Structure 1
């Protein structure tokens, strides 16, 4: 993100209708057991006061879904990328068949609204919004849920307002912003999202999900757990998510574009957007031993790349003493 764009985001107060996300509800007697067996998060820690991120993975530990879990009474809500929702629900229902009386359905009337700035959150929940100070903290607003999520690198506050029935109005005292600006704030917060091109490409730790309240390493067995746990406990993580800025280009690199160092492939672009004229910001999974090298984007000669700081610590990216 350019310095000018970063400053603009820091002073943004607004909301975005996240039409690219679809909400789904899991309900019935087997809800918690089903989620416990398919997602990287410990379901007992998803409460009325705390929402947590999670991933659903293949048996090889590769994430095909990044989501958030929200407790709604006895049910669990989760969000899905609209372009992948049908296939994701269809896949998960294969496991759901084992739990009699438990259902998973998308909610056509539901909506998720992204909020940038504390004033936007206050327009939804009044002074009570100020009680949300840490990522994952959740406040019930009628039949909806206001969730504090990760700040951007310049410490701009962000929230999500989940409306299962979609009956609430939009924030009255905040201007509307477009989805792309919201996604720029996600990149600035170091929070990735999957696309068709990146599904099943990465183990959750490669996407820093363990530092985004998305992986519980002490829970019981779930699909993909063996690979995920082994990578964690044996210290086998050799690459992870970095935030980078780029300039001198008229378009962002495509998802999956290779990052090069000394002419060798050292990583891939996960998300990238323009933040100004000829410049932008991206998230990329990259080898730790390449972070100090001069980087280039394959097929984009002339584009310049600079490493940017993430707003959270990633100890695995620090140089080893040995």
Structure 2
């Protein structure tokens, strides 16, 4: 436990496997999803890159173009295996001399270790930075007003834009959704201010918000399974097709220009429990699975909402089922952004 988790526990936070799962009323908190909520995001880790070569180094390792990265805006990106499949996807931000990568804590250590192996003689230092910034998610009506009060200046206006205060900074991820990064000394006061009018929730509710926003997160069960386009990373602005080489780049380019992406990310609902890595099946193809659950979260209306990577024809036929061809059916619905 840390001073921050002790602070949350004193205010009713319930931790499960080190994650702030809820604040004592899981059903009530889930019912509040889509309204005014503030979430602890400690289940997302941070990696900091510093040094003269930090920007160039990271640019050469990931799917997006970082040459113009500044404190004004964040970008999505992914880190791939040589086979072109995602080992992680994440948010990349700049704060002062640091380039920060925000990704699920469950994959943070392995990704940090792997990236560190390729620094060689580059002037780059890498460190775990989760203890340096408390991460909060703010979602719902009037969230911009509250974020502005935290920063002491206007909240970021455009999607993926950033705004910085003395002890905090924020990135706008949706019309009413923000990620906040706060210095630990200031975090308790910020939490107390935000939790007046915004309901405190845990990771379960935030996961549901991200699932319904169509933003996937690679987890241990799905590492090295999806090329970026399967997870709609290019639709989210997380892939540059104009930059130079990076690990897996040839596979990504071939998939894009030869039209070989047969599986895409879809939003669906299922009436039974689902977990990342669960296989999906349909009548066609008869001899293999047609997809996999990427992310899943309990739904306020019962059952689970999921992001599923699946074959387009199987989804169109409406016969995709969980774990077997006799399993629970998935009911698909549109994503909140276009996919071409």
- Classify the TM-score, shorter chain: 0.7 to 0.9
Write the distance in 1 (CA, Å) between the matches of 2:136 and 2:308: 26
Write the distance in 1 (CA, Å) between the matches of 2:155 and 2:181: 17
Residues 68 and 78 in structure 1, CA contact (< 8 A), matched pair in contact too: yes
Partner of 1:135: 159
Write the distance in 1 (CA, Å) between the matches of 2:53 and 2:227: 27
User: Is there any run of 5+ residues in structure 1 with no aligned partner, and where?
Assistant: 152-156, 316-322
Aligned alpha-carbon RMSD (Å)? 2.2
- Whether 1:170 aligns to 2:190 is yes
Tell me how far 1:266 sits from its aligned partner: 1.3
Q: Alignment length, in residue pairs?
A: 300
Alignment partner for residue 217 of structure 2, among 175, 193, 218? 193
Residues 113 and 161 in structure 1, CA contact (< 8 A), matched pair in contact too: yes
Alignment partner for residue 334 of structure 2, among 302, 305, 309? 309
Write the distance in 2 (CA, Å) between the matches of 1:208 and 1:98: 34
Partner of 2:148: 125
Write the distance in 2 (CA, Å) between the matches of 1:221 and 1:302: 42
Partner of 1:319: none
- Whether 1:105 aligns to 2:127 is yes
Partner of 2:23: none
User: Is there any run of 5+ residues in structure 2 with no aligned partner, and where?
Assistant: 1-28
Write the distance in 2 (CA, Å) between the matches of 1:75 and 1:201: 30
Partner of 1:158: 177
1:186 partner SS: helix
Q: What are the superposed Cα offsets for residues 178-201 of structure 1, whole Å, 9 maximum, x if unpaired?
A: 111000000000011111110111
What TM-score, normalized by structure 1, do the two folds share? 0.86
Tell me how far 1:130 sits from its aligned partner: 5.4
- Whether 1:290 aligns to 2:314 is yes
Partner of 1:318: none
2:234 partner SS: helix
Distance 1:138 1:236, change over 3 A: same
Distance 1:224 1:166, change over 3 A: farther
Partner of 2:18: none
Distance 1:165 1:29, change over 3 A: farther
Residues 282 and 321 in structure 2, CA contact (< 8 A), matched pair in contact too: yes
Tell me how far 1:165 sits from its aligned partner: 5.3
1:33 partner SS: helix
Tell me how far 1:129 sits from its aligned partner: 4.6
Distance 1:6 1:239, change over 3 A: farther
1:45 partner SS: coil
Alignment partner for residue 64 of structure 1, among 76, 87, 108? 87
Residues 281 and 324 in structure 2, CA contact (< 8 A), matched pair in contact too: no
Tell me how far 1:85 sits from its aligned partner: 1.7
Q: What are the superposed Cα offsets for residues 211-270 of structure 1, whole Å, 9 maximum, x if unpaired?
A: 1121111111111111111111222211110000112x3xx2222222222164211111
Structure 1 runs of 4+ with >4 Å offset: 5-8, 127-131, 299-302
What TM-score, normalized by structure 2, do the two folds share? 0.82
Write the distance in 2 (CA, Å) between the matches of 1:70 and 1:90: 20
Distance 1:164 1:54, change over 3 A: farther
Alignment partner for residue 253 of structure 2, among 205, 229, 241? 229
Tell me how far 1:96 sits from its aligned partner: 1.5
- Whether 1:180 aligns to 2:204 is yes
Alignment partner for residue 240 of structure 1, among 264, 268, 275? 264
Write the distance in 2 (CA, Å) between the matches of 1:217 and 1:166: 41
